[in-house]
Structure 1
Amino acid sequence: MQQLVRPDIATLSAYKAESLADITATEIDKIDANEVSSDLPDWFKSQLGTIASDQIKANRYPDGEYAHLKQLIANYVGHGITSSQISIGCGSDEIIRSLLVVACLHRGSIMVAEPTFSMYDILARSLGIPVVKVPRHDQNFQIDLAAAQAAIEQHHVAAIGLVHPNSPTGNLLNSAELDWVRSLPSNILVVIDEAYFEFASHTLAAELDQHPNWLIMRTFSKAFRLAAYRVGYAFAANELIEALEKVRLPYNLPTIAHTAAELAMDNRDRLLELVPEIRQERDRLYRELSNLGLRVWPSAGNFLYARGQDNKAIAQALKQKGTLIRQTGGGLRITVGTRSQNQRLIERMGDCLNSL
């Protein structure tokens, strides 16, 4: 069997979500995946169910063009973005994979600043694309710009993946980083991942027409609470989007997911009413966890990044108490949950730290 598989694939580790199988706690708080912990409201589910029952024909393939959804997204994004500048993906992961095929395959490497979203590395290596990794400064997680510039000069960098705000660390690109991004040559594709835009309220969309080598990605999985439906989108210059559309799989988005995204766009103000509460809880968690003795960094996302004396032991102890967080990048990424989940986290964290 080994002779049928590329040798480098054998060295890859699959992306795995936290298992719930070995948790003995009766009440489990899953705050490890940067999901919004409150489910979709009943009125949304009811409307979606009615549409699915009355309008979706299960024997027919999906629309495939998503023209109406693209127009709704263009209206939401603003900044002069048109529907022809938008591509829809089955989650942001599919878009990242398509970008790698378009920009890097047989052409060059992708550069990332670690720690960051792991799928850039996983997807690139699965395609046989080299990954150039540069560090971030340990105190504020700013990209080591000198190392990044040196990497561009030493390697054939075809694309750069930038998460804004970054996951797992929560920091936005600062002014020095933005100046560097603006100065990058036009033959490098700059992917700006704004998955947490609704929590950060900061976007580079207004500058997109000045940089035809930029592409911005967003998702419905976070603030819009459609993680189960896997809908992502990208917007960029027409030429880039046309290339993405050429490699996009046909009918890549199930009809129910497409319908849910349209309904979310039609009701975006109501769905996003929860965002201020999440920000408020994020700030409360920042204070409380800091008071417990953890090193916690400010965040522009719906999560916090923290470090303790023994991160692995903290994560394992919390898991046994029923709170799942993510150990990654040399620290702990903690999703902001509901108020009751956050309160349990604070209490359980205090117990864990006292017992270590």
Structure 2
Amino acid sequence: MLPFLRSDLDLIRAYKAHPGSNTSQPVASTIDRLDTNESPYNLPSELKQKLAWTYQEVIESNRYPDAGHEELKAKIAEYVNESANTNITGANISVGNGSDEIIRSILIATCVGNEGSILVANPTFGVYAIFAQTLGIPVISLERSPLNFEMDLAAAQLAITQTQSPPIRVVFVVHPNSPTGNALTTNELAWLQSLPAHILVVVDEAYFEFSQNTVVNQLAQRPNWLILRTFSKAFRLAAHRVGYAIAHPAVISALEKIRLPYNLPTFSIAAALVALQHRQLLLNVIPQLLAERVKLTHNLAQHPALQVWESAANFIYLQLKTKSSCTEELLNLVNEQLKAKGTIVRHISGGLRITVGSPDENQRTLDRLEAALSLLTPISF
């Protein structure tokens, strides 16, 4: 450890966005990247041509980007209002370099300096805890039910009551959750609604376009709620890193104080505006992806070794039915076999998370997973 680095950095693991890209085995020349829940479809060529023209004729590369994002915020607000009976404006929006930047800004605005800790229910999106740790913020972690991945609300309430030094300032939930795919239940929503005003409730709706289930209509009555969304999934702009927060103007004002100046490149802003302008074109593949999700879930569930969970997102989470001391080793073997054939999925939290891909990718997933499982001895299950 270098003497000028924080001593606790040895205890923090870096978030690996593409863990499947590191493999000790040869990987097929054609790779199905089904590990990060991206859309399997690129931008349509006509939109790429439009962006190319914008870069050539409109964007001045020698000038800084739009620092205020006013046009983009207004267009995002217009889109958000289509998803619920709300009156969101640009004052309710903050835009970040992916949702990750906004998560970090939330932590800085609420908990840094021993002001607060955060509560998460695992398994869930690992960035919340990792970013908190990098900022020296305590993380209170609860385990979800292994039966349905619901939060243990009694344990969560006890944590809220007992954690005082520092107190819990932020509760992070994903709706639907990653990696498990389950949406917030009525009881979970009721508990979140019961939390006092000094606790910020962050509802990450990264997969809203697939679930069509949002809590954005809660914001008018709950200034201590914030919703995260992204252009990286359904809008096919993962390479451009555009995320946004929807919240009370006072919360947005705090985030605006903290975010880095010129945090979004001009080309990313242009791409997000084009995507919103042509959202019907981009989102019209979602019914097909949902149909593929149903087909993939049904076919995987036929395998006697697999427990496959229903998902409200664009991915599927599965586990081995029989749990043993070597379950993780078996999952790792399956994962390595898939990688060797060219299918990259996410081995996480005692299971495999598989992005729903194109029909061809999904068929290869089924074939390769069947082959990988056949290599394991029957006694393994």
TM over 0.5: yes
Paired position in structure 1 for 2:80: 77
Which residue among 313, 317, 342 is the counterpart of 1:305? 317
Aligned AA for 2:21? Answer: S
- C-alpha distance in 2 between matches for 1:50 and 1:23: 40
- C-alpha distance in 2 between matches for 1:82 and 1:26: 47
Paired position in structure 2 for 1:44: 47
- C-alpha distance in 1 between matches for 2:50 and 2:216: 31
**SS of match in other structure, 2:179:** coil
1:285 aligns with 2:305: no
Contact kept, 8 Å, 1:31 with 1:334, in 2: the verdict is yes
Paired position in structure 2 for 1:59: 62
Paired position in structure 2 for 1:103: 110
1:206 aligns with 2:213: no
Contact kept, 8 Å, 1:135 with 1:147, in 2: the verdict is no
**SS of match in other structure, 1:2:** coil
**SS of match in other structure, 2:140:** strand
**Normalization by structure 2: what TM-score?**
0.92
Structure 1, gaps ≥5 residues long: none
- C-alpha distance in 1 between matches for 2:29 and 2:103: 37
- C-alpha distance in 2 between matches for 1:355 and 1:150: 45
User: CA offset at residue 38 of structure 1?
Assistant: 1.2
What's the CA shift string for 1:41-97, capped at 9, x where partnerless?
111101111111110000000011111110000000011111111000000000000
Aligned AA for 2:159? Answer: A
Paired position in structure 2 for 1:19: 21
Paired position in structure 1 for 2:245: 234
- C-alpha distance in 2 between matches for 1:89 and 1:27: 33
- RMSD in angstroms over aligned alpha carbons? 1.0
Paired position in structure 1 for 2:4: 4
Contact kept, 8 Å, 1:158 with 1:189, in 2: the verdict is yes
Structure 2, gaps ≥5 residues long: 323-329, 377-381
Paired position in structure 1 for 2:341: 321
- C-alpha distance in 1 between matches for 2:33 and 2:215: 31
**SS of match in other structure, 1:216:** strand
User: CA offset at residue 20 of structure 1?
Assistant: 5.4
Paired position in structure 1 for 2:194: 183
User: CA offset at residue 26 of structure 1?
Assistant: 2.4
Aligned AA for 2:355? Answer: T
1:123 aligns with 2:131: yes
User: CA offset at residue 177 of structure 1?
Assistant: 0.4
Aligned AA for 2:14? Answer: A
- C-alpha distance in 2 between matches for 1:331 and 1:43: 39
Paired position in structure 2 for 1:341: 361
User: CA offset at residue 189 of structure 1?
Assistant: 0.5
**Normalization by structure 1: what TM-score?**
0.98
